[in-house]
Amino acid sequence: KERNSKSNVKPKACRPIILQRKHTVLNNSASVKQSDGYISRRKSNVFEEGANTICGIEQINQNTNNNASVKQSIVKYEQSELSASQPWCPTHNETGSQAPQIKNETEHINLIQEQCNVVASSCKQSILQGPQNSTNNIMTKQEPGFSNNFSTQTLPFHIQGMKPMFQNIPVQGFQLRGLNSNNQSAVQEVPVQNHFQMHGNTEHYSYQHYEAASDIQHSYNNIQVPGYYQQPIQPSSMHSGHLVAQPRQDHFQNTMSVGMTPNTHYQVHGFRTPGKFHDQAVDDSLTNITWLGRMGVNNFMPVPLERERKVFERDEKRGRPPYSYMALIQFAINSSSAGRMTLRQIYQWIEEKFPYFISAKPGWKNSIRHNLSLHDIFVRQVTTGSKASYWTLRSDLNIRPLTLDSVRGTSQHSFQESPNNHETTWSLQTVAQGQKPILPRLPPRPYILLPVPLINNETNEKEFSPNVQTSTFFNSTPISSQYGDRENRRSSSQECSLLADSGFVSDISVFTPSTHGRNFLGCLISRLERQFLNSDCSPMLSQTRVTSGTKRSTKKSRKEPLKTLHDSFNSSVNFEKNEVAAQSKYPSSPSSASQLLHCKPSYKKDKHKSPKLMTEESFNEILEDLGSPFKSCLARGPDVDSMMSPRSDPASRKRRCSWGSPESSKEFQHRSKTEREVTPSSRCIRRVKSCVGDLRQNYADMQQKNLTQLPTSTPLNKNKWQKTKRCNDMDLEDSKENMLQCFQNTTKQRDDQWCNDKSDEIGEHSIPSPIPSSSKNPAFDFFHDLIGSVFKTPDKPSHFESLTPERVPLADITHQHKDTNDINVESSAVSESIAPPNPSLLSPKYEPLDTSFSKLLDISGGSGTFSRHNQFSDVPDLSLSWSNFSHF
DNA sequence: CTATGTAAACAAC
DNA sequence: GTTGTTTACATAG
């Protein structure tokens, strides 16, 4: 819009390549060397190309001595006139490309083919010219260890003629086909790591955001999927006055880097997820590059993966439209002139447009209703005087109305009904054609833990005092619910689930930015520890009692769900008693135990005969484990030895990879290069995660020894673990041993040592509690202590200094923020109550970074992210932002 | 962990 | 029986 209004010229458009994420083909299967040399092991995303995807590379079994640098190939991307309905496409001039005008499709195809060949041959050549002496075979190890044998080589190219942000999209991955150590042919997908996560809404990203994001590693995640729910950006979280600025071109001209081993036998194919498969025989010739020549706009299909093929064939057989129910409902409602529809009309519309549903299982209507209720964007409009109730779309959503036409593209290409009944072949190309590109989602920010005040049942006041009884806390703190309130439905509650698979308080939820305002794990652990460490107790069980299994027989009465932590806790403490009570109250409801036995295939499969409660001993052990590192992490100074940066500690990386490496975590990836070193906060996070990994292993071990069996919904077992983490027995044992050793021998000792030293030093109890002692302003006290401890003069100043290269004098910060006069105190009572901290209380020697520190402080979600409301209505949202501390 | 699909209990009409 | 809400579980990513 901005562009058009300025130039008053209708922009020429080029069609962006639009891709859809379909599957994670191989979890943690391949390493990708990013431009900063950092190796990521994140999931490999496989994409489905829209109009054109290019690049096929084929490695020939041939070594050369040539070590020439990798050549860069440029592919001029298709330029064509599109309708003004796609004004987001860049103009010819803006992109600076010299793309030719395409006259017809044949010419276009030829051009693309030619360009592909250019790219392919160049890449091929560069591969051939790679380092010579390596004797590694790419498949000497199956994933995940496979990547450890990789060297990397960069294959830069980009496509011109596209909006910059799309320039590095074209190839999402390669398929490496080679020989394993047994000389058997094998296939490996290698993802291409792009820098930006394409997600979210278009209009609200400022130039600054791009600036900020440019040095942060982003993974290419997603291009808009038809029907995908575009989450709205709350107006309050937008930067006012910032329109869409074109990102600087150089932010997006990142080369792609693919980890691969030179001098080995492999083919590299651009690969894709299924669109329309051509079941032509895969050309397995290792020296054949002619397949490129067969590629056309509608005929780009290198080697479909077996699994993808299955998935797609399944969907295709079902003739099911590739839209979610949510999208379908939006289509329907948007199709009506009144912008509203009754449920029945929605049914009818969907059946009319998608005949599949006429003969589908009747359950789809249930799902429609479910979706209507589930998603906030659907609002029921009750008309007075009439019984009719209409479903409308929430008007305050700043999203483009989703219509079927908009996702179908031109009608002639939309989808062709096959002769068979309702089988429909979807041309995903044209589905994608109508899609509007979307801009990157801003990265999550670093965050810190904050205490959550507890509700005193008697006074009904929030307090931080440690003498609040656990029961008080439990009684007052509701269990997160999928339907806690309309604003915090499913997603947020899932995100905030309190209890992990392992049966105790969830580790992860504490550390996700979006749950920062609801972090009471610290409080919880602390209280549990204080109150129950030496008493008879069982661990809390699942978030809610197991009330249904996979197959529920009809007409079973339902047990009351557990509403609060108190319920949950009591339920677990008095498990057997409650079972008896529940049985008498709900005779037709199966007992938890019987459900576990009869309704959980996984339990049966793993021969978990009966659920047993955890022993007090094991519980205490876990509590202790969980509590100690959690707290000491907060209090400790930097410790680069025990939590060395994975980059500088290959052994550590290897050790952790099988368990979900810290460096694959979002927190880690989204940190900029400099920040990615071990900072106190990152160390804290990673340590806790590491500890949780240990705890889970403990659980697994205990389960194997039949010591305990938690009646949780998802039993933790070796098989599942392996499936998830894709590690074999060796890895599992290896990791277990390594982690345990690392944790027990190193970390714990160091913890203890450190805590003892600190204890002497500060003359208080050995481990500073995350719970603030009572004071006038406990929230601030804690906050201050936390920051103070995080940035405290370290035991090893050299490390600390080396990890924080930039420091600004505190005075500068203070001055700067005074000048801004940017006091933006939220309505949150807690925020308001926080007094200005006393700078002198901070370490005089080491001031925090201005940037990272402000990021630490600014945990409110920030612009462009979705700040979810507090899950728990009676717990104030402790979101704090730097602006709250301007006087700081 | 998130998003989605599915089944089903249940209430109100 | 329909509509709407909510809980639960499964699966894919």
Task: Tell me the mean pLDDT in the region A665-694.
Answer: 40
Question: Which nucleotide has its C1' atom closest to residue A484's CA?
Answer: C6
Q: What is the pLDDT of residue A331?
A: 85
| Strand C closer than 7 A to residue A214 Cβ | no
Is A329 a member of any domain? yes
DSSP tag of A462: E
Residue owning tokens 């001595």: A65
| Strand C closer than 7 A to residue A725 Cβ | no
| Strand B closer than 7 A to residue A667 Cβ | no
Do A105 and A174 fall into the same domain? yes
Is A407 a member of any domain? no
CA distance A652 to A742: 9
| Strand C closer than 7 A to residue A344 Cβ | yes
Instruction: Give the start-end residues of each E strand in A716-783.
Output: none
A403: confidence class by pLDDT, cuts 50, 70, 90: confident
Q: What is the pLDDT of residue A829?
A: 27
Contacts of A116 (CB under 8 A, 6+ apart): A54, A55, A56, A75, A292, A295
Q: Is A531 exposed, middle or buried (0-12, 13-18, 19+ CB in 10 A)?
A: middle
A368: confidence class by pLDDT, cuts 50, 70, 90: very high
- The per-residue pLDDT for range A829-845, each reduced to its tens digit, is 222 222 222 322 222 22
Across chain A, mean pLDDT equals 36
Q: Please determine, for residue A380, whether its predicted confidence score (pLDDT) is greater than 80.
A: yes
Print the domain residue range for A327.
320-401
Q: Please determine, for residue A347, whether its predicted confidence score (pLDDT) is greater than 60.
A: yes
Q: Please determine, for residue A370, whether its predicted confidence score (pLDDT) is greater than 60.
A: yes
Q: Please determine, for residue A324, whether its predicted confidence score (pLDDT) is greater than 70.
A: yes
Strands A185-191 and A173-179: antiparallel
| Strand C closer than 7 A to residue A21 Cβ | yes
Which residue's alpha carbon is at the shortest distance from the C1' of C12? A23
**How many CB atoms sit inside 10 A of residue A385's CB?**
5
Question: Which nucleotide has its C1' atom closest to residue A381's CA?
Answer: C4
Diameter of chain A measured on Cα atoms: 85
- Of A266, A283, A314, the domain-final residue: A314
- The per-residue pLDDT for range A32-46, each reduced to its tens digit, is 222 222 222 222 222
Contacts of A319 (CB under 8 A, 6+ apart): A356, A418, A421, A422, A423, A424
A459: confidence class by pLDDT, cuts 50, 70, 90: low
What is the CA A357 to C1' C8 distance in angstroms?
Answer: 25
Do A301 and A352 fall into the same domain? no
- Which CATH number does the domain housing residue A333 bear? 1.10.10.10
Which of the pair, A215 or A734, is modelled with greater confidence? A734
Do A351 and A307 fall into the same domain? no
Do A276 and A356 fall into the same domain? no
Do A175 and A68 fall into the same domain? yes
Three-class secondary structure of residue A303 per DSSP: coil
First to last CA, chain A: 40
| Strand C closer than 7 A to residue A601 Cβ | yes
**How many CB atoms sit inside 10 A of residue A115's CB?**
20
CA distance A844 to A825: 27
Do A297 and A152 fall into the same domain? yes
Q: What is the pLDDT of residue A335?
A: 87
User: Do A105 and A111 touch, CB atoms closer than 8 A?
Assistant: no
Phi, psi angles (nearest 5°) of residue A198: -95, 105
Q: Please determine, for residue A83, whether its predicted confidence score (pLDDT) is greater than 80.
A: no
Do A262 and A335 fall into the same domain? no
Do A51 and A109 fall into the same domain? yes
Do A210 and A263 fall into the same domain? yes
Q: Please determine, for residue A101, whether its predicted confidence score (pLDDT) is greater than 60.
A: no
Share of chain A above pLDDT 90, in %: 0
- The per-residue pLDDT for range A853-870, each reduced to its tens digit, is 222 222 222 222 222 222
CA distance A206 to A394: 25
Which residue's alpha carbon is at the shortest distance from the C1' of B9? A558
Q: How many CA atoms lie within 13 A of A455 on its CB side?
A: 15
Q: How many CA atoms lie within 13 A of A651 on its CB side?
A: 8
Instruction: Give the start-end residues of each E strand in A669-716.
Output: none
Question: Which nucleotide has its C1' atom closest to residue A558's CA?
Answer: B9
Q: Please determine, for residue A320, whether its predicted confidence score (pLDDT) is greater than 60.
A: yes
User: Would you say the C-alpha torsion A325, A326, A327, A329 has a positive or negative sign?
Assistant: positive
Do A20 and A152 fall into the same domain? yes
A388: confidence class by pLDDT, cuts 50, 70, 90: confident
Is A502 a member of any domain? no
What is the CA A367 to C1' B11 distance in angstroms?
Answer: 18
Which of the pair, A514 or A690, is modelled with greater confidence? A690
Phi, psi angles (nearest 5°) of residue A447: -155, 170
Q: Which nucleotides of strand B are protein-proximal, with an atom < 7 A from a CB?
A: 1-10, 13
Task: Tell me the mean pLDDT in the region A389-408.
Answer: 69
Task: Tell me the mean pLDDT in the region A771-790.
Answer: 33
Phi, psi angles (nearest 5°) of residue A2: -60, -45
Is A779 a member of any domain? no
Q: Which of A45-59, A96-110, A468-482, A575-589 has the highest mean pLDDT?
A: A575-589
What is the CA A610 to C1' B9 distance in angstroms?
Answer: 27
Is A241 a member of any domain? yes
- Of A271, A287, A314, the domain-final residue: A314
| Strand C closer than 7 A to residue A148 Cβ | no
Is A625 a member of any domain? no
What is the CA A66 to C1' C3 distance in angstroms?
Answer: 72
Share of chain A above pLDDT 70, in %: 8
Do A242 and A380 fall into the same domain? no
| Residue closest to A265 by CA, chosen among A148, A192, A182, A171 | A182
Q: Which nucleotides of strand C are protein-proximal, with an atom < 7 A from a CB?
A: 2-10, 12-13
- The per-residue pLDDT for range A744-779, each reduced to its tens digit, is 443 344 445 545 554 555 444 333 332 222 333 333
Phi, psi angles (nearest 5°) of residue A154: -95, 135
Which of the pair, A525 or A336, is modelled with greater confidence? A336
What is the CA A49 to C1' C10 distance in angstroms?
Answer: 29
Is A484 a member of any domain? no
Do A335 and A380 fall into the same domain? yes
User: Do A74 and A160 touch, CB atoms closer than 8 A?
Assistant: yes
- Of A382, A401, A420, the domain-final residue: A401
Structural domain count, chain A: 2
- The per-residue pLDDT for range A418-443, each reduced to its tens digit, is 333 333 333 333 233 333 222 222 22
Which of the pair, A220 or A726, is modelled with greater confidence? A726
What is the CA A229 to C1' C6 distance in angstroms?
Answer: 22
What is the CA A481 to C1' C6 distance in angstroms?
Answer: 10
| Strand B closer than 7 A to residue A489 Cβ | no
User: Do A343 and A402 touch, CB atoms closer than 8 A?
Assistant: no
Is A867 a member of any domain? no
